[in-house]
C-alpha cells in the first residue's frame, strides 16, 4: 500500500475532497497536524508522496511557527528524492520557498471565487487539461510568491499573477483551493480567525456573496477538482528520473 504524508497546519484546513480521492486510490494517509504536534516530524523519505496544506499563517512567521522552517527542509528532501509533492495555498508558498522563491503580500486579498486562467504552458499541462479556458475557482489568501528558477508557470488571475506552477513532472504548487467543497467553505466562513479577517477588510468581502457564488460555481469546481487531482495521483505511478534542484 502506498503511503502519503500530509502536512496540516490547522484543524480547519484538511485535505477536503482530496482525502476521499487518495483513499479510493488505495493510499494510506498520515496527517501531521502542526497545531498539536508532539512527536518528531516523520522522515518524508519513508513515504510515497507529500501534500502540504494551507493555513492562516505567513511563511515568514517562523519565530511564531518554527515548524515552517522544518517543513521547507522536509519539502526539499522530498523534491530531492523525486517524490510527488503537492502544495496548496500556504503549501504552494512553502514549496516555492523550498525551490528558491520568495513569499510576500499580494496587492489584494483574494477571498471568494475568482477567475483563474491557464497560461500557454498550463493549457498543455496534464493537470490543467480539464480547464475550459478561464474558470471560477475558490481562493483564500493574502500572500503570493515569486516563481523560482526552473519552474513552469501554469495559471494566473487578474489580481495574483502566480496561481500555479510545476517543478519537474511531480511537484505542483496551487495557490487556490480546488479541494474545498461547499461544506468546507461554509466551515471557513464561520471559523473565528477568518471571520475576523473578513471584518478587518471593511466591507470589501461579503460572506453572503461568497455563499451565493458557491452555489453557482461549486459543482463545476468539484468536477475540475476530481479531474485535476485524479491526474496528480497518477504521478505516483509514473515516476521519472531524479531532478537536480536549482541553486538556493
Residues with a known catalytic role: 89, 177, 179
Give the DSSP letter string of 114-172: EEEEE-HHHHTSGGGTT--SSEEEEEEEEEEEPPPTT-EEEEE-SS-S-SEEEETTTEE
Q: How far apart are CA 158 and CA 153, in angstroms?
A: 15
Instruction: Report how far residue 114's alpha carbon sits from residue 129's, in angstroms, rounded to the nearest whole number.
Output: 19
Identify the bridge partners of residue 103 per DSSP, sorted by sequence position: 145
| Residues in contact with 241: Cβ distance below 8 Å, sequence separation at least 6, in sequence order | 82
Beta bridge partners of 139: 112
The answer for residues whose C-beta is within 8 angstroms of residue 192's C-beta and 6 or more apart is none
Beta bridge mates, 51: 6, 86
Yes or no: say if 232 and 17 are a contact pair by the CB < 8 Å rule: no
86 class by beta-carbon count within 10 Å (0-12 exposed, 13-18 middle, 19+ buried): buried
Amino acid at each position: 500500500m502506498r503511503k502519503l504524508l500530509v502536512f496540516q497546519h490547522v484543524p480547519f484546513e484538511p485535505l477536503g475532497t482530496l482525502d476521499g480521492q487518495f483513499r479510493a486510490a488505495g493510499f494510506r494517509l498520515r496527517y501531521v497536524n502542526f497545531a498539536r504536534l508532539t512527536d518528531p516530524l516523520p522522515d518524508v523519505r519513508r513515504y510515497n508522496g507529500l501534500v502540504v496544506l494551507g493555513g492562516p499563517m505567513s511563511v515568514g512567521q517562523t519565530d511564531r511557527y518554527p515548524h515552517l522552517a522544518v517543513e521547507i527542509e522536509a519539502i526539499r528532501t522530498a523534491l530531492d528524492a523525486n517524490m510527488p509533492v503537492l502544495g496548496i495555498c500556504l503549501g504552494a508558498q512553502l514549496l516555492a520557498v523550498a525551490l528558491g522563491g520568495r513569499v510576500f503580500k499580494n496587492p489584494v486579498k483574494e477571498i471568494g471565487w475568482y477567475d483563474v486562467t491557464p497560461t500557454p504552458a498550463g493549457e498543455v499541462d496534464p493537470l490543467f487539461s480539464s480547464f475550459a479556458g478561464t474558470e471560477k475557482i475558490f481562493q483564500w489568501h493574502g500572500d503570493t510568491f515569486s516563481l523560482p528558477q526552473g519552474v513552469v508557470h501554469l495559471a494566473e488571475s487578474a489580481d495574483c499573477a502566480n496561481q500555479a506552477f510545476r517543478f519537474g513532472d511531480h511537484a505542483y504548487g496551487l495557490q487556490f483551493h480546488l479541494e474545498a467543497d461547499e461544506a468546507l467553505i461554509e466551515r471557513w466562513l464561520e471559523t473565528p480567525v477568518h471571520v475576523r479577517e473578513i471584518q478587518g477588510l471593511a466591507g470589501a468581502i461579503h460572506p453572503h456573496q461568497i455563499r451565493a457564488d458557491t452555489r453557482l460555481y461549486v459543482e463545476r469546481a468539484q468536477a475540475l477538482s476530481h479531474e485535476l487531482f485524479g491526474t496528480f495521483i497518477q504521478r505516483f505511478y509514473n515516476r521519472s528520473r531524479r531532478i537536480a534542484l536549482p541553486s538556493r
